[in-house]
Amino acid sequence: MKKLLYLALAVLIIAPLSTSAATFKSGDTVTISDGLEDDLYAAGQSVSLHADLAGDLFSAGNNIVLTGAILQDAFVSGGTVTIGNVGDDARVVGGTITFNGEVADDVFVAGGSLLFVKDSIVQGDLHGTGGMITLNGTVNGATKIGGGSVRLDGTLAGPTRIEAERIVVNGRLEGDVELSATTIEIGDDAQIAGAVRYWQTNGELNADTALVEGGSLTFDQSLESRAAAASSPIWPSPFFMLMMLLSAALVILVLVLADKRSMFENGARTLSAKYWKSLLAGLIFLIVTPVIGILLMVTVIGLPIGLFILVMYGFIVYFLPMIAALVVARWIDLRRTKQFNKWIIYLIALGAFVVLSLVTYIPYVGMLAFLLVYPATLGALMLNRRAKASRQT
């Protein structure tokens, strides 16, 4: 299954890159105010699209605002994402994600907080996972979502399956519906027009006043296992894994476009020339840094500094596989005497990420590869940074 997911991701990302018509934008702030007929690849700290886009959108950044209409597919990864009208599918990964327009086909979304505003419409299916999900709009296709807290204030017109720790229904449910949660609440404005089967810890609900147009509400003990899985601290699914892989691919895209000063190329040179020194530097950082952070948090004065160190350490560890993949890609390019353009580098880095990720699942070999590759690439970048600082002083 994992191999199929990686293959699907590779096809998803690589296929659009083979087209000749595309516009590439990168920088700290990327703003598109004029309409585009091509596909758009945009990466930066802040990305804003205020004009119509006739092709597909591939975008990654910290803050992404898409007010212009995207007539084809949207592939987006960001910290905060606001997305309007999409003419085909929308695949979005982020921290806080808001849909405030119409998506003409399917939505695949994963994030910390997901909001579909009141007038938003998903014409196709909705597949989503998140910590807090609020559906105030309309989904005309099937809905399959899971997460921590799910609130339904809009209309779900098709077959629905929701697994969460807490579900609040205050909107309209149509079609065949399955609800599995520790707690389910049926609000005063809820309308149940379909056949709803549910399970919650407290047993049967008393919500007959919400039944309209022949709707039914049935307690189903067989749904208990789904609720237990949804409330588990780790809630893996093939869909969630695929979305996380898409996020990684977009992060690599950002790193490729943002590398104006050849940081990863220089890191590859250092890795090749000083591998063991790079490995030692990386291992020291990965082992010592969390210890320092924890020790600082023991004191009142050092608490904020220690917390900051641990947060930054978490970010570095999370992005390290993607960083390592790009350094490896640059190392391969150096071995080929720099024959590749940035998009070939991107594809090589994506392939390296897939290979490294697959290898980590192999017993013993995976751990060995992890210890020999990730700390060394990080250490090479650190040594370059230190050398650059020394030259400036």
Domain boundaries of the chain, sorted by first residue: 2-230, 259-392
Q: What is the pLDDT along the chain (393 residues), one digit of tens a residue?
A: 334 333 333 334 444 444 446 787 877 788 999 999 888 888 777 899 999 999 999 887 778 999 999 999 998 887 899 999 999 999 988 889 999 999 999 999 888 899 999 999 999 999 988 889 999 999 999 999 988 899 999 999 999 999 988 999 999 999 899 999 989 999 999 999 999 999 998 888 888 888 888 889 888 888 876 655 555 443 445 555 666 667 777 778 777 877 766 888 888 899 889 999 999 998 999 889 888 888 887 777 777 888 888 878 887 887 888 889 999 989 888 887 777 777 788 888 888 888 887 777 777 777 787 788 899 999 999 988 888 777 766
CB within 8 Å of 332: residues ≥ 6 apart: 348, 352
Cα separations (Å) of 174 from 119, 171, 183, 359?
A: 18, 10, 21, 45
pTM confidence score: 0.66
Alpha-carbon distance of 77 to 117, in angstroms, equals: 20
Alpha-carbon distance of 191 to 172, in angstroms, equals: 5
| 3 state DSSP class of 393 | coil
CB within 8 Å of 114: residues ≥ 6 apart: 97, 99, 128, 130, 132, 133, 134, 147
Alpha-carbon distance of 228 to 234, in angstroms, equals: 11
Alpha-carbon distance of 219 to 178, in angstroms, equals: 10
Nearest to 110 by CA among 137, 81, 138: 81
Calculate ∠ Cα 70-254-14, nearest 5°.
Answer: 65
Cβ contact 26:10 at 8 Å: no
